[in-house]
Structure 1
Amino acid sequence: MPVSSLRTHSLEREPFAETEYPEDPYPGARPDCSFVHLDGVGYPVLPDETAPSGWRVRTGTGTHPCLDDWLAEHGAAPLDQRRPVLAYGSNACPEKIGWLRTGLGLTGPAVVLRARCAELSAVWSSGLRPRDGQRPAVLAAAPGVTEQHAVWYATPEQRRVLDRCEGRGKRYRLVRLHDSGNVRLDDGTAPRRLLAYTAAGRELAPLLVGGEPVRCTELAQREALTLSGDPAATDGLSCTEIVGEPASP
């Protein structure tokens, strides 16, 4: 994503309104920290090895509960009962998560943990997004490249909302990434059995300009809309498409 859409967040200020990180233009803005999102508010999440979950939530009240305890207080599943899904486009944007709630019925806390992704890149796709005509991102192999993205820890119900949002089976396919060790959370761990949404066909295949994909970090949405080129024959990813429901966490 464009560097300008990564915004720092002061942990002293702690909770933030989702509107501080607008979704337009795509892929939207995201805080430079892990967070949980609920009721229009994002709460920073920091790694802490003394917490049973390995993470603590900055609530703004002076207390920093374990993430699993905070989730339990809100009647939600703990981290180990959620499936990790790589978020490399707008799904890491707080205001977009708010739209998922109002537009597609997403419920419960959304857990979004920041991640460093090696050998992977968000690149501009060959197609446009039906909802607003913007050019979306797709995932592609990128030897020698490291980018900062995020991992959603989604409940089955939340992941099915993401399925609808991504047009699973038509625009994007749900896959398991074989090289998930290339993705590391802020606590240094690699998500197990990491899922991702990747291009389902030529409509959203990586756009090749001069024979090369264009990384989203290199070009903002306005300039990306002016690109012309050819759909790539492959995204180069080592992955397996998921048919039906993925296995339980």
Structure 2
Amino acid sequence: MSTGEATEPCLDGWLAEHGAAPLSDRRPVLAYGSNACPAKITWLRETLGLAGPAVVLRARCTGLAAVWSAGLRARDGQRPAVLAAAPGVIEQHAVWFATPEQRRVLDECEGRGSRYRLVCLHGSERIRLEDGSQPQHVLAYAGASLQRAALLVGGRPVRCVDVDQRTALALSGTSATSDGLTYAEVCGEPHHDLAGCGAI
């Protein structure tokens, strides 16, 4: 299920009717790049066994951006997106309220620990859902290697909204040494409320 307007009681009612975990048992995960695409959810179901309703809400994100990474994806030769700080920038992404099982599927897909790290973003007031709410302790997948560092062209990252995939493949530049974000890397399973996250 994907919705941008349902309120929590209504959504929880729908989830209960379908025997699915309520929002209180789900953790918000920032979905950007291909993870915000409905077709990716279908691929995750068919390829990695994703189960249950996918609760994905549109979100307005301030101060961060999806940018093209320095390396290409081994599976299909495409240039993946990675997250980077972008002061003053506003982008539309999504927040996936994932069950622990769904998040572990995302871990596998993203290559957690090698290609991407699972992190808890700080200052998550930068992420606002369409109903005006601001989810706290939002998880995200941040680059974990030089291949998943932001590509710098002329010393600046290249936003995905500015350059399409075909054009991005032809870009050349250097790898950023930092994504500029403030977060805590999550080791193992996230705490239920993630309140113990400390910045790194």
Instruction: Note the residue ranges of structure 1 that are not aligned, 5 or more in a row.
Output: 1-35, 38-43, 55-65
Displacement of 1:106 in angstroms is 0.3
Distance 1:155 1:174 in 2: 15
Distance 1:79 1:99 in 2: 23
RMSD: 1.1
Give the 5 Å matches for 1:20-169: 36-37=1-2, 44-48=3-7, 53=8, 66-169=10-113
Give the 5 Å matches for 1:210-225: 210-225=154-169
Residue number in structure 2 paired with 1:23? none
Instruction: Note the residue ranges of structure 2 that are not aligned, 5 or more in a row.
Output: 194-200
Say if 1:90 and 1:96, in contact at 8 Å, map to a contact too. Answer: yes
TM-score normalised by length of structure 2: 0.94
Displacement of 1:130 in angstroms is 1.6
Residue number in structure 2 paired with 1:190? 134
Question: What amino acid is the match of 2:5?
Answer: L
Displacement of 1:89 in angstroms is 1.1
Question: What amino acid is the match of 1:108?
Answer: G
Distance 2:138 2:65 in 1: 15
SS of alignment partner, residue 90 of structure 1: helix
Count of residues in Structure 1 that have an aligned counterpart in Structure 2: 193
Say if 1:120 and 1:146, in contact at 8 Å, map to a contact too. Answer: yes
Which one of the candidate residues 173, 183, 191 is aligned to 2:117? 173
TM-score normalised by length of structure 1: 0.76
Displacement of 1:47 in angstroms is 4.1
Residue number in structure 1 paired with 2:185? 241
Compare the two structures and name the one with the higher helix fraction. Answer: 2
SS of alignment partner, residue 46 of structure 1: coil
Distance 2:40 2:6 in 1: 24
Distance 1:217 1:45 in 2: 21
Say if 1:141 and 1:235, in contact at 8 Å, map to a contact too. Answer: yes
> Which has the greater radius of gyration?
1
Distance 1:206 1:156 in 2: 28
Distance 1:248 1:162 in 2: 18
Displacement of 1:95 in angstroms is 1.1
Distance 1:216 1:150 in 2: 15
Say if 1:47 and 1:186, in contact at 8 Å, map to a contact too. Answer: no
Say if 1:85 and 1:196, in contact at 8 Å, map to a contact too. Answer: yes
